[in-house]
Every structure is written in structure tokens, then in C-alpha cells.
């Protein structure tokens, strides 16, 4: 009998792959996907809403008519969102337990035709791990910014930092 959770993750990965940009300019790496119905590439996750705001602010763009149009704009611009660990983590998982995902992330990064202009770790505690994976994937490694996850009071900090990255990288 097929595992329904595994089928759900395969579907999410299929959707994510549909948004791979033709040229990777900025790679956002979060810790792990959340269990439940929220997903960046469904346009219904906290991270999506914060990225959408930062993208508009950083590049002075008008709003997209809906989440799918925004995701397509982000794809054409060159943004891709991935996770350090490919599967949801149990609550309370510590940094050392997440470290085991670094080699797999480096392998996934090497599969891109070349490095992005920049990478951003989306959670301060995984910044060093993302830097390690990026350094293991590309030489020279692109710069890695470390941003807080955009929850509660950290959302404004995240949006300002990401908007600055968008401004610095400019239009495609």
C-alpha cells in the first residue's frame, strides 16, 4: 500500500520543480518543509507572503494579481526556494540533528548548471550549515546572507534584508 504522506511530498516536489527558474539568481534555503497544507509554491505559506512583499519593495513592482502570477514572476526573475532538509522535522529538532542534511543539500546544489549570484539562509540557526553546503557545492561559492524566519516581529527584518538583496541584484 502506498504511503499517502510520501505521495504528498512527491507532489510538492513536482510543483517545486515546475518553478525552477531558467537562470538561478537567488536561492533561498529554509530549514525544512512544514507538515500540513502550507507550502511556498502553493502560495499560501508565511515565507511566500514575506518573499512577495520583499520582492515588490526591493524591485519597486506593482502587485501580482494572484499568488500563481507572483510565483511565475519570481521564477522568471530567477528565485528558487529549497530546504536544507527535504522532509519535515520533528518538533524540537536541534541544529546537530539538522547537520546530517548538509551533504545532501550540497549534492542538490551541484545539480544546478552553475551557482546563483547569491544565497540566503532563511533561519539564523542554519546559516552556518547553509554556508557549509554552498561551499561544498561551488568554488568559488556565492555570498550567503543569513535572514531570520519571517515570523512575528522578525518578518519586518526578513523583508528588509531580502528587499535589499533584490535591489542589489536588480532586474534580470
Helix axes 46-59, 67-77, angle to 10 degrees: 60
Task: State mean pLDDT over 83-87.
Answer: 93
**Residue 97 confidence class, pLDDT cut points 50, 70, 90:** confident
Task: State mean pLDDT over 119-138.
Answer: 97
Reply yes or no on whether the pLDDT at 5 is more than 90: no
Q: What pLDDT, on the 0 to 100 scale, is given for residue 92?
A: 82
- pTM (2 decimals)? 0.94
Q: What pLDDT, on the 0 to 100 scale, is given for residue 2?
A: 45
Task: State mean pLDDT over 96-103.
Answer: 92
- The model's pLDDT over 50-82, given as tens digits with 9 standing for 90+, comes to 999 999 999 999 999 999 999 999 999 999 999
Q: What is the DSSP string of 4-47?
A: HHHHHHHHHHHHHHTT--SS--EEEEES-PPSSS--GGGT-SHH
Q: What pLDDT, on the 0 to 100 scale, is given for residue 9?
A: 81
Question: Which residue matches cell numbers 507572483?
Answer: 70
Segments making up each domain of the chain, as ranges: 26-169
- The model's pLDDT over 8-37, given as tens digits with 9 standing for 90+, comes to 888 999 999 999 999 999 999 999 998 889
The CATH code of the domain at 26-169 is 3.40.470.10
Q: What pLDDT, on the 0 to 100 scale, is given for residue 131?
A: 98
C-alpha cell at 161: 534584508
In the chain, which ranges are E strands? 26-30, 79-83, 118-122, 144-147
- Rounded CA separation 78/2 (Å): 35
**Residue 7 confidence class, pLDDT cut points 50, 70, 90:** low
Tell me the CA end-to-end span of the chain in Å, nearest whole number.
46
Reply yes or no on whether the pLDDT at 1 is more than 70: no
Amino acid at each position: 500500500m502506498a504511503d499517502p504522506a510520501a505521495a504528498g511530498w512527491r507532489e510538492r516536489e513536482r510543483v517545486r520543480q515546475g518553478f525552477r527558474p531558467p537562470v538561478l539568481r537567488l536561492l533561498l534555503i529554509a530549514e525544512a518543509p512544514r507538515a500540513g497544507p502550507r507550502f511556498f509554491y502553493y502560495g499560501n505559506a508565511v515565507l511566500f507572503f514575506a518573499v512577495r512583499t520583499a520582492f515588490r519593495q526591493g524591485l519597486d513592482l506593482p502587485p501580482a494579481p494572484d499568488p500563481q502570477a507572483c510565483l511565475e514572476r519570481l521564477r522568471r526573475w530567477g528565485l528558487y526556494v529549497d530546504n536544507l532538509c527535504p522532509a519535515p522535522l520533528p518538533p524540537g529538532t536541534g541544529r546537530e540533528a539538522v547537520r546530517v542534511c548538509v551533504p545532501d543539500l550540497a549534492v542538490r546544489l551541484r545539480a544546478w548548471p552553475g551557482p546563483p549570484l547569491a544565497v540566503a539562509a532563511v533561519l539564523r540557526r542554519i546559516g552556518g550549515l547553509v554556508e557549509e553546503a554552498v561551499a561544498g557545492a561551488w568554488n568559488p561559492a556565492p555570498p550567503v546572507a543569513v535572514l531570520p524566519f519571517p515570523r512575528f516581529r522578525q518578518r519586518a527584518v526578513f523583508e528588509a534584508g531580502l528587499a535589499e538583496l533584490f535591489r542589489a541584484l536588480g532586474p534580470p
